[in-house]
Amino acid sequence: MGRREVSSGVLPMEQRRHLKAKICLVGEAAVGKTSLIRRYVESQFSDAYLMTIGVKVSKKRLEIPVPGEPVASLLELSVWDVMGQPKFRELLQEAYFTGVSGIIGVADLTRPDTVTALYEWIDRVDRVTSQAPLILAGNKADLVPKEKLRTGDIEGLAQAFHAEWRITSAKTGKNVEEVFQLLGGRIVDRAVKARPMIGIARAGPPVPPAAGGAEASKTD
């Protein structure tokens, strides 16, 4: 079954929406997942490779404009960096992908096989998350001369999963923030279309979050 798009519909409100979401970066080992997160969360980069053991969780707040609303939504991301060794895929499936609201699939542009491997990674997350929004990152653009850059494989992957994609470099920062902002926008858009009042402070008991989607911040 192909991934689905969710139809639009927004509710203009004066209040600022506060949402929380869990996202995962997935892909083979050494494609640059940890480096992308460090660049985005801490504005840092290191050439030293550190293998992710298990999972590392980082936090980041970003503002997401919602069409028709005067104030941007505040989205608090929990960014999960998942180890990429193939032998751990089965172990990771339930433990780390439950509750994911969005996915960044990362491939290394110098290793075409890492693009192909994303088909399996994304399929595994989809089995748990009911097709959470997906953005693809063709990483390590700084290592590929422009004249040798080939994007056909990642474009084909994006078409197969109805996803947007960007060429990124954790070293230079190229398109790193845009990738996370794109995914944040997709998450908020999906959440607002499913539940127009989500994340808005209101009287009465809180509304429980939809399964596998963004939830209202408990600090509202």
Distance CA 146, CA 169 (A): 13
- Please state, for a pLDDT cut of 90, what percent of the chain lies above it: 57
The two beta strands, 164-167 and 134-139, are parallel
| Whether the predicted pLDDT of 47 surpasses 80 | no
Query: Is the per-residue pLDDT at 92 higher than 80?
Result: no
- Tell me which DSSP letter residue 46 carries: -
Q: Is the pLDDT of residue 122 over 90?
A: yes
Domain segments of the chain as ranges: 22-197
Which CATH architecture best describes the domain 22-197? 3-Layer(aba) Sandwich (3.40)
CA distance 84 to 11: 40
Instruction: Single out the residue of 19, 21, 20, 8 nearest to residue 67, CA to CA.
Output: 8
| Tens-digit pLDDT profile for residues 155-179 | 999 999 999 999 999 999 999 999 9
Question: How far is the C-alpha of 181 from the C-alpha of 168, rounded, in Å?
Answer: 13
169, two tokens: 């470099």
Does 186 score more than 60 pLDDT? yes
Q: Is the pLDDT assigned to residue 10 strictly greater than 50?
A: no
Distance CA 62, CA 81 (A): 18
Q: Residue type for 199, please?
A: G
